[in-house]
Amino acid sequence: MAHECEDCGQSFETLTRLRTHDCGDGGVSDAVSTLDAASDADTASDAGTSTSSSTGDRDASVPELDDQLARLSDGEFDAVFAAVATFESAQSSALETDDRGDSYRDVFWSYYEPVADGLDGATRSEGWGLLADVVAAYDPAGGDAVSHATPAIANAVGRHVVRTRVTDGVEAVPVTALEYLDAVAVEAGDSDDIAMEETHAYGWGIGHPDHAVVDRLRERVPEAIFSVNPVLEHAFYADQHAAVDALERLVGDESIEGTFSRPRRTDLSYRRCLLDCVYGLQTDDYWPSTPRYWEWHEELDYAFELDEAVEQHIRDLVAEGGFDADLPDDWTFRDLGI
């Protein structure tokens, strides 16, 4: 679901983006990279509609891709590779012919969801092996920039990770899926916010016996604090006990020295910023909104209730770190929002 600022009326896909935008300047804080010049994601709807802009609703037509997606819908899953390649090449061609990027946005927002859905459907039918081949073909560490197809691929990978964790347990989550999401997060550039946001499902790999999720997050904190927060948020839904242990490790790590500057407000340490990940855990109507275009908690009939011991653990972390000095006496997790 979209999240709207009560002050300025802007809509945002994620709570992190909502809570860190700067109403005073009418835009997103400099601490959070601006959205891809080829996207309008701040006003995108989680319901799966294309983004609107001053040029109107996005409505591109790529007949070859339409045909390939139709074949996927009919169960011809060998069309997966052609569909991804066409999605990639159509965006590249649009960029070459339109300096303003309007054509690129038209293609991206018209086909982002259908391609992600097609990949997800093929994976559910044929298994991880098919999507693993796509991941290998579009290795984010294999070139100078992540592929234009990365958001749709990462979306499907994220869906598979969440679905597998819930239905079969963490040991069944493919290590290659987690490595891919981690690689995208590391390799994504400043303009790759859409791809970056599709890596949040990486948190569902917490506790994996063959992939050290928390170690990788610790390495990312200094350079990408705001990609770590939503991953930790997802981790709480995957395993709240493992997640609070991870939060304790990171918040208690005094070697994390970065600070987040807030216009007209006190700067916050990165360690304090990490506590923002628990902002929505005590609400009844909020669920993380990535992977996009997929109501994962509804499809998987997923229920979440914060354990009292975990809540107390979080409160202890806040007190022990001295982070409650500026909080009201009766503070809630909402007060930890940055």
Q: pLDDT tens digit string along 55-88?
A: 335 567 899 999 999 999 999 999 999 999 999 9
Q: Write down the pLDDT at residue 268.
A: 82
**Residue 282 backbone dihedrals phi, psi, to 5 degrees:** -105, 15
The residue count for the chain = 338
Whether the CB-CB separation of 52 and 40 falls below 8 Å is answered with yes
Q: Write down the pLDDT at residue 289.
A: 87
User: pTM of the predicted model, to two decimals?
Assistant: 0.82
**C-alpha torsion angle, residues 183, 145, 199, 250 (rounded to 10):** 60
Q: Write down the pLDDT at residue 6.
A: 57
Q: How far apart are CA 134 and CA 114, in angstroms?
A: 16
Question: How many alpha carbons lie under 13 Å from residue 131 in its C-beta half-sphere?
Answer: 31
Structure tokens at 138: 């579009």
Hey, is 279 helix, strand or coil? coil
Q: Facing residues of 233 across strands? A: none
Q: How many H helices and E strands in the chain?
A: 14, 8
**Residue 22 backbone dihedrals phi, psi, to 5 degrees:** -110, 105
**CB atoms inside a 10 Å sphere around CB 44:** 24
pLDDT greater than 60 at residue 53? no
CA angle 60, 83, 66 (to 5 degrees): 40
pLDDT greater than 90 at residue 324? no
State the chain's mean pLDDT as an integer.
83
pLDDT greater than 90 at residue 222? no
Surface-to-core class of residue 3, CB atoms within 10 Å of its CB (0-12 exposed, 13-18 middle, 19+ buried): middle
pLDDT greater than 90 at residue 249? yes
